[in-house]
Each structure stands twice: as C-alpha cells, then as structure tokens.
C-alpha cells in the first residue's frame, strides 16, 4: 500500500508555486480573450472562411480527452476491474478539470462570451450546439455525484449504478461533439456519419494518455512508484486504443476517397498542402507509430517509455485536430461540381490561416484551468491511487 505522508514545508511551497503558475496561465488566457474581444477578430488569424481557429483545437481536445479520461473510472466501476477502481476518483477529477478548461476556451472564443446567456435560455433543438448545453452541464452534475459516491463511504453502494450512468453519458457527450461536424454539410471535410464513432474511439486514447501523464507526475510528486503490473496493463490498453483510433481515422479517409466529389479534398489534406506534413509526421508518425513502438518494444516496460508514448499521443491528437478543423475549413466547398467558381467572397479558393499569439494564449489558458483544478484537487483531497501491492504480487496478475 502506498501511504501518504504529511507534506513538508518545501513541498507546501512547491504546491503554492504550482497553484500560482496555474493561476497566472489562466489570467493570461483571460487577458488574451479580453484583447480579442476588445479589438475584434481582426487581431486573430481567423477569417470569414476559417471561423474556428486554434482555440477550438485546444477546446475540442480538452473536451474529447475529458470524456476519455472518465473511461478509466468506467473500467473500474462498470466492468469491475479492481486496479482501475483505485484510479476512479482521479479519473473523475481529470474529467471535470479538462471539461472545465475546454468550455473556458470555447465560451471565450465566441467573441461575445456574454451571449452564452442566450444559448442557455433560448433553445433550438434542431441544433447540435443546443444539445451540447445539456450534455456538458449534465456531465458536470453526473461526474460530481459519481465522485461523491466514490469518496463518501456510506455512498459507496451507489458507485456502480452512478458509474454506469456516467459511462453512457460520456458516450453520448462524445457522440454529440463528433456530430457537430458529422451534421455539418457546409464544409467538404465534414458531413460524415463516421465522425461520431471516430470521436468516441479517439477519446479513449487521448483521455488515457492524459491520465497516464498526470498519474506519473503525481507518483513522482509523492515519491512513490507505479507497480510494474499496473503499468503493463495501462500501457497495453493505451496501445489498443491508439490502434483503434488510427483504424477509424484510416476508414474515414478511405470512405472519402471512395466518393469522387471528395477526392480533391483528400489530395489537398493528405498530399498537396502544408496540412499533409502535419498529418503524416505529427499524427501518423509521432502520434501513432512512435508510441506504439515505445509501448511494444523491450523498453515498453519502463515508466519513462510509457510516459513518452503518452506525451506523443497527446501531441498527435493536437496535430490531428488542427488538420481536421483548420484544414477542413480552409478547403473550399464544392457547390457546383465540375464548375470553376470565383467571386469577391473568395469562393472556390483555398483559405490561408495563420494562428495569432492571442489565440494560442487563450488555448493555453484552457490547459491552465485544467492544470489548476487538478493541482488543487489532488492536494486538498488526496486523489493519489493507492494499490494493494501485496495482493497484486501474490496474484501475479491484475485480471480480477
């Protein structure tokens, strides 16, 4: 059993330094949002064609990864895996932290963040965005109750049914996020039924990768180490999720190539533009091939290799979303097949987008929110997973 010891004076100072760092990053994000709101989107790289810029890449990654992070708790509560039950509280905390950080960026990137009041009081139920108002707020409420059942002993009998509700809700939430693009026919890259299940599967990989990174930092902070059997199970699960996510991305592009009207877009995104290098190097090589090599090679038994693989998955996730979101908007919509279209509104032309510093800082601000919430939560409530090592070693496996 990994026992928690009281924090020393130096560790207390280190915690306050981390909290101050997180607060500073959040303040920078807020300042960037105010700067863009005050001066208008002219100070950003966004245009009338590329209306979802770099902040949306950060926001969607955080929201999708938040859903995937809860998968760790679901494996424990819903499927009864004992090792993952120990990690359920940290899983729930990360879900709330990253979901809060993603919505922080999403709301402040609207240009008029106060108009969220309109979205919260006037609903257009034919819009996926209106559905997400309920999905996001419902996720916060359900995960909060789930954490209560996990951490309050008298509420423990309710953890499995509430965990089951949280499991299905996170699937619905990620389906809603993917459906934002899947139901959007005004861009050549979107409008595909494959996007909802694709987002669900990639959330597994991204959420678990973030969880492994945070867990490793927590163990290092508390001067403890992760048991090799636990590390083996988690890194094998990560490898499975990476492969499944790549498979769905591959099927998505192969499906597009099957339709003649999508071939020009696929050539643009995979071969003929700057997005191609980001896709093949950033996502395929760094985000898939490298972590799979680190996981399944002889060095995959080392904690450092698994941590590096997780960081590579996170980088690959950002690369994939940038290509998908920005590249999907930059390519012109083919309104009249077989015809050349031109006008003063740049119809038929590829749009150029270069993210500005305020956009990047706003996105980093969302990460700062997740970092601050996680740091304070871990320090105040002691979310460090505590495994019964003697039981693990006696069993010789962690399949129960």
Residue pLDDT, tens place only, 337-361: 666 766 666 666 778 888 999 999 9
Are 66 and 194 spatial neighbours (Cβ–Cβ below 8 Å)? no
Q: What percent of the chain has pLDDT over 90?
A: 42
Q: What is this structure's pTM?
A: 0.90
In this prediction, residues 124-151 reach a mean pLDDT of 86
Are 65 and 206 spatial neighbours (Cβ–Cβ below 8 Å)? yes
Structure tokens at 165: 């509700």
Separation CA 65–CA 78 (nearest Å): 19
Q: Considering all CA atoms of the chain, what is the largest pairwise distance in Å, rounded to the nearest integer?
A: 73
User: Which one, of 21, 43, 3, 9, lies nearest residue 358 by Cα?
Assistant: 43
14-334+342-379: CATH number: 1.20.1630.10
**Residue 84, phi-psi category: left (phi > 0), alpha (psi -120 to 50), beta (remainder):** alpha
Are 163 and 155 spatial neighbours (Cβ–Cβ below 8 Å)? no
Separation CA 151–CA 167 (nearest Å): 18
The full set of domain ranges for the chain reads 14-334+342-379
- Class of residue 144 by CB neighbours under 10 A (exposed 0-12, middle 13-18, buried 19+): exposed
The helix (run of H) or strand (run of E) holding residue 225 is: none
Tokens 């809060």 identify what position?
100
pLDDT band of 250, cuts 50, 70, 90: very high
Structure tokens at 388: 């019964």
pLDDT band of 7, cuts 50, 70, 90: low
**Residue 40, phi-psi category: left (phi > 0), alpha (psi -120 to 50), beta (remainder):** left
Separation CA 279–CA 286 (nearest Å): 10
DSSP for 183-204, written as a single string: T--SSTT---TTHHHHHHHHHH
Q: What is the DSSP letter of 323?
A: I
Separation CA 180–CA 198 (nearest Å): 13
At residue 346, the pLDDT reads 64
Separation CA 339–CA 329 (nearest Å): 20
Range with the poorest average pLDDT among 7-16, 44-53, 335-344: 335-344
Are 68 and 204 spatial neighbours (Cβ–Cβ below 8 Å)? yes
Are 209 and 71 spatial neighbours (Cβ–Cβ below 8 Å)? no
**Residue 223, phi-psi category: left (phi > 0), alpha (psi -120 to 50), beta (remainder):** left
All residues at 6 or more sequence positions from 395 whose CB lies less than 8 Å from its CB, including other chains: none
At residue 337, the pLDDT reads 66
Tokens 């090599």 identify what position?
293
Dihedral sign for Cα 211, 212, 215, 220, please: negative
Task: State the first-to-last Cα distance of the chain, in angstroms, to the nearest integer.
Answer: 18
Residue pLDDT, tens place only, 69-125: 998 888 877 777 777 788 888 899 999 999 999 999 988 887 676 777 777 777 777
Are 328 and 189 spatial neighbours (Cβ–Cβ below 8 Å)? yes
């Amino acid at each position: 059993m990994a026992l928690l010891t009281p924090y020393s004076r130096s560790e207390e100072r280190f915690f306050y330094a981390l909290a101050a760092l997180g607060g500073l990053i959040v303040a920078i994000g807020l300042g960037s949002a105010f700067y863009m709101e005050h001066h208008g989107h002219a100070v950003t790289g966004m245009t009338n064609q590329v209306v979802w810029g770099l902040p949306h890449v950060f926001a969607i990654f955080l929201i999708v990864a938040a859903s995937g992070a809860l998968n760790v708790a679901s494996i424990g509560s819903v499927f009864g895996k004992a090792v993952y039950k120990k990690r359920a509280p940290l899983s729930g905390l990360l879900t709330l932290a990253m979901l809060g950080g993603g919505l922080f960026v999403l709301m402040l990137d609207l240009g008029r963040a106060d108009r969220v009041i309109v979205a919260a009081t006037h609903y257009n139920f034919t819009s996926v965005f209106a559905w997400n108002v309920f999905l996001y707020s419902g996720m916060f409420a359900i995960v909060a109750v789930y954490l209560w059942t996990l951490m309050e002993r008298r509420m423990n009998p309710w953890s499995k049914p509430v965990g089951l509700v949280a499991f299905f809700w996170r699937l619905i939430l990620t389906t809603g996020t993917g459906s934002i693009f899947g139901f959007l026919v005004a861009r050549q890259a979107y409008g595909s039924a494959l996007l909802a299940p694709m987002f669900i599967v990639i959330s597994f990989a991204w959420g678990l990768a973030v969880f492994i990174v945070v867990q490793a930092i927590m163990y290092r902070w508390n001067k403890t180490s992760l048991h090799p059997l636990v590390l083996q199970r988690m890194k094998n699960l990560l490898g499975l999720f990476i492969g499944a996510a790549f498979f769905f991305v591959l099927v998505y592009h192969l499906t597009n190539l099957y339709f003649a009207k999508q071939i020009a877009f696929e050539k643009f995104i995979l071969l003929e533009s700057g997005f191609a290098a980001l896709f093949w190097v950033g996502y395929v090589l760094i985000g898939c091939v490298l972590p799979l090599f680190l996981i399944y090679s002889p060095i995959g038994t080392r904690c450092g290799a698994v941590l590096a693989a997780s960081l590579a998955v996170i980088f690959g996730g950002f690369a994939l979303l940038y290509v998908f979101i920005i590249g999907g908007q930059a390519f012109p919509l083919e309104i009249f097949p077989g015809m050349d279209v031109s006008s003063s509104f740049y119809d038929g032309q590829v749009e150029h987008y270069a993210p500005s510093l305020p956009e990047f800082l706003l996105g980093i601000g969302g990460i700062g929110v997740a970092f601050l919430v996680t740091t304070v939560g871990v320090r105040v409530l002691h979310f460090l997973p505590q495994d019964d090592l003697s039981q693990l070693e006696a069993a010789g496996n962690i399949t129960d």
